[in-house]
């Protein structure tokens, strides 16, 4: 019997169920029995676990890809544990080298604070504020003496650092690695000591940094944290990692209808992954949903719809999710002109230059993209395609009409 099986067998039924929920969708748990051991310790000591997530905000727009680890953190909260968000007020100025092929540009302290403001508005759409502690590692790292730092450096060797995949690649390619990048994992590990973390969460690119925290805690007489990593979420194309630069993302602040439409576009083979990583469904329900998709036919469509509703409901509520599904059906099934769309005020130009209108209304990213959409027949006015090269239209022909670009982007012109 493995260490994990032995540890699980020793847990009472409710903790085994909690373990199943928390382990579902995890890329790795280190050590293998670490989560079970920490859950058991919390029960024995009659206290909540302190579950750490370090964040160095470099931007303010969060996608479902960013939300995967936050949703896992929320699962811990729903089971009664405490989320500890460590804002990188100090480490953000150093720059995390994880997954990098060159030294990351450092942020100023003001940059970190400014990004954090917008970041937290979205983070708290996911986390429970009452079970969240927010701390800034500048509070301890910024005042730590050089002697203190050197004391910690004795716990990590250069050989260990060079075993990291990203460092090993850069070292082998004779690419520079700054000393500050070597120090970064150490600083992240010190955070675990300072907050007395029981569990640290992160993406798969954070495994090395998180394991350094275990070693530093052990050296300071603390019980070493367990490490739980989550996989990187594939984008709506079903191929590449979700990212804004690739356009294959779903932002958590997007309107409900936009989210639902994008989620209905994902390939069937990743519906189960989205259900497991992006919703609050119990692992048993996810398994059933994935089986429906694998069976194909009408059941696969029902399963995809359920996944999309569950995701949208997390960020907009059940009623908005249902309305988004109805709008999707009106546009995609019945090919109706959407009614509940944002309004956009036309300028005074007559005739109106349609590519400029599309950009101003947020229906196209650029005039060149808008012209291509017009020429491809994707731009419609009240459901009627605009003729190829029909770039300039009388203003009177647009007022009060619904302008669409594709199936999901629409505005009523006023």
* Averaged pLDDT for residues 330-341: 61
Q: pTM value? A: 0.72
- Confidence bin at 248 (pLDDT 50/70/90): confident
pLDDT digits (tens, 9 = 90+) for 286-334: 999 999 999 888 888 899 999 999 999 999 999 999 998 888 887 666 5
Tell me the average pLDDT of the chain.
Answer: 83
DSSP 292: H
Residue ranges of domains in the chain, CATH in brackets: 3-230 (3.40.50.620), 244-333 (1.10.240.10), 343-413 (3.10.290.10)
Tokens of 230: 């989550």
Better-scored residue on pLDDT, 164 or 50: 50
* Averaged pLDDT for residues 356-370: 84
Tokens of 216: 């530093």
Query: What's the pLDDT score for residue 28?
Result: 93
Known binding residues for ATP are 244
pLDDT at 96 > cutoff 60:
no
- Confidence bin at 116 (pLDDT 50/70/90): low
Cα 230–Cα 231–Cα 235 angle in degrees, nearest 5: 135
Better-scored residue on pLDDT, 74 or 120: 74
Cα 107–Cα 111–Cα 114 angle in degrees, nearest 5: 155
Secondary structure E strands in 128-254: 132-136, 199-203, 226-230
pLDDT digits (tens, 9 = 90+) for 257-276: 889 888 988 889 999 999 99
Secondary structure E strands in 354-398: 379-381, 384-385, 392-393
Q: Could you give the CA distance from residue 358 to residue 376 in angstroms, rounded to a whole number?
A: 15
Q: Is the dihedral of CA 377, 380, 383, 388 positive or negative?
A: negative
- Confidence bin at 44 (pLDDT 50/70/90): very high
pLDDT digits (tens, 9 = 90+) for 229-244: 999 899 888 888 888 7
* Averaged pLDDT for residues 188-195: 95
pLDDT at 191 > cutoff 90:
yes
Query: What's the pLDDT score for residue 139?
Result: 93
Phi, psi of 330 (to 5 degrees): -60, -40
DSSP 251: B
Least confident of 209-213, 323-327, 379-383: 379-383
pLDDT at 183 > cutoff 90:
no
pLDDT at 384 > cutoff 80:
no
Query: What's the pLDDT score for residue 340?
Result: 62
pLDDT at 46 > cutoff 80:
yes
* Averaged pLDDT for residues 406-411: 75
- The DSSP-derived string for 27-50 is SEEESTTHHHHHHHHHHHHTS--E
Q: Which residues does residue 30 pair with via DSSP β-bridges, in sequence order?
A: 227
Query: What's the pLDDT score for residue 192?
Result: 96
DSSP 330: I
Q: Could you give the CA distance from residue 7 to residue 29 in angstroms, rounded to a whole number?
A: 13
pLDDT digits (tens, 9 = 90+) for 139-172: 999 999 999 988 888 888 777 777 666 667 777 7
Query: What's the pLDDT score for residue 107?
Result: 58
- Confidence bin at 47 (pLDDT 50/70/90): very high
Query: What's the pLDDT score for residue 102?
Result: 44
Known binding residues are 244
């Amino acid at each position: 019997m493995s260490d994990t099986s032995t540890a699980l067998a020793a847990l009472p039924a409710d903790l085994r169920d909690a373990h199943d929920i928390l382990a579902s969708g995890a890329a790795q748990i280190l050590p293998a029995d670490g989560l079970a051991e920490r859950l058991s310790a919390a029960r024995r000591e009659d206290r909540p676990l302190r579950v750490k997530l370090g964040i160095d905000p470099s931007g303010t727009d969060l996608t479902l890809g960013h939300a995967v680890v936050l949703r896992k953190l929320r699962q811990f909260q729903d089971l009664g544990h405490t989320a500890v968000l460590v804002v990188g007020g100090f480490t953000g100025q150093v720059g995390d080298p994880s997954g990098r092929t060159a030294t990351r540009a450092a942020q100023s302290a003001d940059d970190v604070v400014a990004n954090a403001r917008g970041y937290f508005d979205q983070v708290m759409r996911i986390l429970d504020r009452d079970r969240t502690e927010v701390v800034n590692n500048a509070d301890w790292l910024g005042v730590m003496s050089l002697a203190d730092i050197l004391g910690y450096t004795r716990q990590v060797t250069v050989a260990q650092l060079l075993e990291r995949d990203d460092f090993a690649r850069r070292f082998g390619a004779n690419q520079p690695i700054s000393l500050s990048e070597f120090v970064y994992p150490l600083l992240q590990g010190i955070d675990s000591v300072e907050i007395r973390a029981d569990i640290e969460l992160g993406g798969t690119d954070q495994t090395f940094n998180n394991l350094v925290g275990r070693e530093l805690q052990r050296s300071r007489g603390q019980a070493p944290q367990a490490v739980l990593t989550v996989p990187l979420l594939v984008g709506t194309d079903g191929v590449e990692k979700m990212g804004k630069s690739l356009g294959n993302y779903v932002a958590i602040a997007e309107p409900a209808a936009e989210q639902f439409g994008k989620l209905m576009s994902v390939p069937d083979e990743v519906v189960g992954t989205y259900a497991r990583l992006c919703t609050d469904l119990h692992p048993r329900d996810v398994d059933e949903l994935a089986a429906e998709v694998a069976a194909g036919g009408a059941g696969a469509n029902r399963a995809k719809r359920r996944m999309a509703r569950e995701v949208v409901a997390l960020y907009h509520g059940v009623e908005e999710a249902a309305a988004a599904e109805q709008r999707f059906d009106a546009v995609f099934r019945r090919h109706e002109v959407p009614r509940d769309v944002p309004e956009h005020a036309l300028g005074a130009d007559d005739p109106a230059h349609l590519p400029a209108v599309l950009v101003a209304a947020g229906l196209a990213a650029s005039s060149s993209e808008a012209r291509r959409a017009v020429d491809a027949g994707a731009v419609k006015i009240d459901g009627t395609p605009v003729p190829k090269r029909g770039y300039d239209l009388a203003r009177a022909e647009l007022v009060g009409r619904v302008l669409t670009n594709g199936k999901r982007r629409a505005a009523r012109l006023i």
